[in-house]
């Protein structure tokens, strides 16, 4: 009986050490693989700057590999209050690097010599990006509608800062 208990304890200890070692090695391999998965950029905010006549996009890279925005494009659709004609600007070179796990502000200039955005105007922006693991191109599209909603959120933010 005594030899049986000793051999059972040795076997149990071997299983625990083997299981712990295998778990550790598997965990490290998975972590390395997940670290190489590129994230997709997420557009957090879009704000219109009247003075510079540009849209400022706050874009975050949730992945652990750097992303490069290679080009931008936009489609402008006028609202009811606007006198401006609809237009498209495409293939605007960007070359903006989004470092891993960080946030960057990207400027998108509207067409020169056009009037400022009016409530109801819609700008659809397309950002084309790539990551270092492949030569493929990917896109992120964001719709921005200028109007009272944006002004309300800005006013609410100012009130919260005042408190």
pLDDT at 147: 78
- Kindly report the CATH number assigned to the domain that includes residue 133: 2.60.40
CB 70, CB 93: distance < 8 Å: yes
Domain limits for position 102: 42-149
Q: What is the pLDDT of residue 149?
A: 56
Entry pTM? 0.70
Per-residue confidence (pLDDT) for residue 15, from 0 to 100: 93
pLDDT of residue 160: 52
Q: Flag residues of the chain having pLDDT under 70.
A: 148-163
**Residue 21 DSSP SS3:** helix
Token look-up 């006549």 returns: 53
The fraction of the chain above a pLDDT of 70, given in percent, is: 90
The residues that bridge with 42 in the sheet, in sequence order, are 60
Return the pLDDT at 144: 93
Number of domains, the chain: 2
Are both 5 and 50 inside the same structural domain? no
For the chain, percent helix, then strand, then coil, each to nearest 5?
30, 40, 30
Beta bridge partners of 145: 122
């Amino acid at each position: 009986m005594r030899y049986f208990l000793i051999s059972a304890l040795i076997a149990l200890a071997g299983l625990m050490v083997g299981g712990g070692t295998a778990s550790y090695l598997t965990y490290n391999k998975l972590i390395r693989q997940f670290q190489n998965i590129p994230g997709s950029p997420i557009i957090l905010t879009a704000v219109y700057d009247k003075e510079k006549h540009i849209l400022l996009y706050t874009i975050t890279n949730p992945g652990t590999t750097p992303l490069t925005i290679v080009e931008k494009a936009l489609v402008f659709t006028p609202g009811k209050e606007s006198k401006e004609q609809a237009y498209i600007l495409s293939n605007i070179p960007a070359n903006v690097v989004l470092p891993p796990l960080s946030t960057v502000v990207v400027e998108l200039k509207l067409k020169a010599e056009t009037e400022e955005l009016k409530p109801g105007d819609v700008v659809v922006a397309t950002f084309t990006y790539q990551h270092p693991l492949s030569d493929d191109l990917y896109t992120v599209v964001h719709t921005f509608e200028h109007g009272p909603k944006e002004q309300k959120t800005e006013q609410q933010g100012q009130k919260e800062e005042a408190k």
